[in-house]
Structure 1
Amino acid sequence: MSTIEDVAKLAGLSRTTVSRVINNHPYVSEEKKKRVMSAMNMLGFVPNSAARRLRKQKTETVAVLVPRVTNPFFSKLIESLEIAASEHKYKLIICQTRYLPEKELEYLQLLSTKQVDGIIMCSLQNDWSLVAPYLQHGPIVMCNEYTEEAEIPTVKFDQMDGAYKAAKHLLDQGHRCLLFCSGSEKSMVVQHRKLGFLQAVAEHKNIDVDFIENAYDIEDGRKVFQQIKQMEKKPTAIFAGGDEVAAGIITEAKRNHWSVPEDLAIVGFDNQLLSEITEPTITTVCQPVDKMARQVIDLMMEKIHTKNYQRKEVYEFELELLIKGSTMKNMMLLA
C-alpha cells in the first residue's frame, strides 16, 4: 500500500506539501496541487481517514431528519442524539425537511450513496412505500414519528395517553367546549393524540369539540386565536398540541384582553423552556427526550453492526402532564 512518502517522492515535493494538499491548506500553488493529485492517482493513494472508512465500510456518521430545527423539541432531541452518538464515536448530520416530501427523499439518498451509515427519521412526509427501498442500503430508525407499515425499529412516546391526560385535566376543570389543535392529520403522532383526546371526551356527556390542524409554531398560534374569535361558539379550553402554538395563543389572547386561564385554558405539549417563561406558565405534557435519544442511538448502532435492518421493534415511553398556570385559575394560591 502506498504511503504519503511515496506520493511526495513521485511528485518531487516534500511530505509537508503533500499533507497540506490533502488537508486543503490554502497556501499551496495550483501547480503543486496538480502534481500531488496526479501522484496520488498514479499510486492509488487514499488519505488515512478516508482509507480507514473504506476498510471499515463505514462513515461513522448518521443523518437525522427533522422537519424544523428551530422547533425547541427537535433542537433538544438533536442535542440528546448527538451526546448519545458521540459515546459511540459517531457524528450526526442534521437534515431539515421543512415538512417537504421531496426534501425527505433527497436526504434519504445519503444512505444509497453511502455518505452515512444510517438514517434517523424524526418525521415522515412520504408514504412508507417510497421510503422502504432505501433499507437495502442501510438501517433506518423511526424516532418520535411512526407508521404501522414500517418493519423497522421505532422509538416513540405514548401519544394517546399523553393527550388523554391533557383532555381529562381540562374536563376535570369543568370545561365543556374544547378545541383540539394539531399539525398535519397525516401524522401518526397527531392521529394517536386525537384518539386519546376523544377517549377522554367520550367519558363525559354534552361536550362540544372543534378541530384546527396545520398549526406548528407561535405565529400559527396567533392565527388560531383569531380563528377562535370568529367562532360562533367559542371554546373555553384548548389542547394546543405544542408549547410554541400554546405560547402564540396566549400572546394573542392577552393582546385582545382575554385572560388565561379565566377566559381560555390552554394545554401545550413537549415541556419546552418556553412553557416556563410565558405568563402564565403553560400546562404541558412532558416527553422524556433523553431516554428516547439513547434508545434510538443504541438501536442504530446495533443495526449498523448486525446489518439486520428489517425487523419491527417498538419502544414506547410514558408521558407526564405538568400542571401550570395556563389551566389552573387558583394556581397562584397553590404556589
Structure 2
Amino acid sequence: MRNITIKDIAVHLGISHPTVSRALRDHPAIRKETRELVKKTARELGYIPHSGARMLRRTRSELIGVIFPDVQNDFYSKTMSTLAAAFLHHGYKLVLASSEDRPSVELEQIRSLREARVAGVIIAPTAGLRKEAVSLLGSIPTVQLLRRHPALPAPVVSLDERAGIATAVHHLARKSHTRIGFIGSSNTLSTGRDRAQGYMQAVRDASLALDRSLLFQGPPRPDFGYQSMLSLASSDEPPTAVIVASPELTVGGLLAIRELGMDVPRQLALIAYHDPDWFQLWGPGISCISLPVHDMASAAVSLLLGRMREAQDGEAAHAPDACFMPILIARGTT
C-alpha cells in the first residue's frame, strides 16, 4: 500500500489540501469541527504526520515492531530474546510495545509503529482488536504470534492448544484422577477458547464425567488463578488434580495452594502451562505443558521476512500459517 498524503485526505473529504494541512496543524482559522473531521479521516486512512516522512520513504526501515500483551510474561520475554537475535542477524532492530491487553492501548501502539515506518510487525493481538488497528496493519507486513484474531488477515504462528491440554488430561487420567479441574483464560482470547475446548473434549475422550463446576475461565492474571484455586479447593467435591493453563494463573494458583497448606501431589496433582525456569525449583518440580518458544519465534521471523520481501517486490502475500505441538514434561507435582 502506498503512503497516504494530504492530497488524498483532501480528495476524500472534498476540501482543499491547504485546508487539510492547516487543520492537521490546528490552525485557528480552521473551524474546530473541520479540524476534528480531518484528523479522524487522517487516522482512518493511515496518514502519517511525520516531518521526516519523505526522507524515510526513500530508505529501507531497519525497525521491526513487536506488540505483546504483557512483556513480563515469561513466554513473551523468551520469545523477544529469540526475535531480537534473529532479526539482528538480518540487519533489523526491534521496537517492543506492550498492549497491556487493552485494545485502546494496542491501537495507539500500532499508530506509533506506523508513524515510525517499521518494516514489519509481529503481534499477539487483543481480543478486541479495533477496526482502525486492522486497517493500519493492512499496510504493514504482519504476523500474528500465539494468538490469532479473525479480522486480521495475517499469517499465524500458533500452538495446537487443544492437543497440548488433551495430553495433560490423559496423563492425569492414567494416574486414576477422575475429577480434574481446569483454570484458563477467557473465551474472548483464541488461546483461552482452544485450551478450554481441548480440556472438555479430552475429559469426554477419557470417559470421565464433564463437571463444568471444575472449569474456571477469566483474565490471565495471578489474582484470577488465586481465586479459582481457592474455589476449587473449597468445593463440596474438590478435584484431585488441576490443570492451570497460563504461567500467570499458575502463580496465583500456587499462592492459594501455599495459603491452604495443601500437599502437592498427595492432596492435589498439578500441571501448569509453559515451562519457565522456576518450575523446576518449586517444591517437587512442576509438571507442565512445555512450549517450543525458540521454534515458534524462528518461524515468526521467517514468515515476516517473507512477507516483507513480497511487499517490496509488489507481490501478493500468501504466507501459510505455522502450528507447533507442545509437549508434556512430567515432574513431581503429578
In the superposition, the TM-score normalised over structure 2's length comes to 0.76
Partner of 2:16: none
Tell me the distance in 2 between the aligned counterparts of 1:84 and 1:62: 11
Partner of 2:261: 257
Could you tell me how far 1:108 is from its partner in structure 2?
1.3
Could you tell me how far 1:127 is from its partner in structure 2?
4.1
| Post-superposition CA distance 1:289-328 (Å, at most 9, x none) | 111111111221222222157536211111110011111x
Partner of 1:61: 63
Partner secondary structure for residue 331 of structure 2: coil
Could you tell me how far 1:254 is from its partner in structure 2?
3.0
Structure 1 residues 301, 312: closer, same or farther in 2, change over 3 A?
Answer: closer
Structure 1 residues 288, 211: closer, same or farther in 2, change over 3 A?
Answer: same
Could you tell me how far 1:215 is from its partner in structure 2?
4.8
Correspondences of 1:198-237 after superposition (within 5 Å): 198-203=200-205, 204-209=207-212, 210-237=214-241
Tell me the distance in 2 between the aligned counterparts of 1:206 and 1:118: 47
User: Is the Cα–Cα contact under 8 Å of residues 111 and 138 in structure 1 kept in the other structure?
Assistant: no
Tell me the distance in 1 between the aligned counterparts of 2:100 and 2:180: 29
Tell me the distance in 1 between the aligned counterparts of 2:211 and 2:140: 48
Could you tell me how far 1:243 is from its partner in structure 2?
3.3
Tell me the distance in 1 between the aligned counterparts of 2:69 and 2:273: 17
Greater Cα radius of gyration, structure 1 or 2: 1
Correspondences of 1:95-134 after superposition (within 5 Å): 95-127=97-129, 129-134=131-136
Partner of 2:297: 293
Partner of 1:84: 86
Partner of 1:8: none
User: Is the Cα–Cα contact under 8 Å of residues 179 and 239 in structure 1 kept in the other structure?
Assistant: yes
Correspondent of 2:167 among 165, 168, 174: 165
In the superposition, the TM-score normalised over structure 1's length comes to 0.76
Number of aligned residues: 278
Tell me the distance in 2 between the aligned counterparts of 1:286 and 1:109: 34
Structure 1 residues 69, 309: closer, same or farther in 2, change over 3 A?
Answer: farther
Partner secondary structure for residue 96 of structure 2: strand
Partner of 1:314: 321
Tell me the distance in 1 between the aligned counterparts of 2:255 and 2:152: 39
Structure 1 residues 127, 255: closer, same or farther in 2, change over 3 A?
Answer: closer
Q: Percent identity?
A: 23
Partner amino acid, structure 2, of 1:305: R
| Post-superposition CA distance 1:68-97 (Å, at most 9, x none) | 111111111111111111111111111111
Partner secondary structure for residue 189 of structure 1: helix
User: Is the Cα–Cα contact under 8 Å of residues 177 and 235 in structure 1 kept in the other structure?
Assistant: yes
Comparing 154-163 with 171-180, greater Cα deviation is found at 171-180
Partner amino acid, structure 2, of 1:320: I
Partner amino acid, structure 1, of 2:217: E
| Post-superposition CA distance 1:197-222 (Å, at most 9, x none) | 12211121434342212253444433
Partner of 2:182: 180
Partner of 1:305: 309
Structure 1: gaps of 5 or more residues: 1-48, 328-335
Correspondences of 1:270-281 after superposition (within 5 Å): 270-281=274-285
Structure 1 residues 206, 136: closer, same or farther in 2, change over 3 A?
Answer: closer
Tell me the distance in 2 between the aligned counterparts of 1:173 and 1:132: 46
What is the RMSD computed on CA atoms of the aligned residues?
2.3
Structure 2: gaps of 5 or more residues: 1-51
Partner secondary structure for residue 293 of structure 1: helix
Could you tell me how far 1:182 is from its partner in structure 2?
0.9
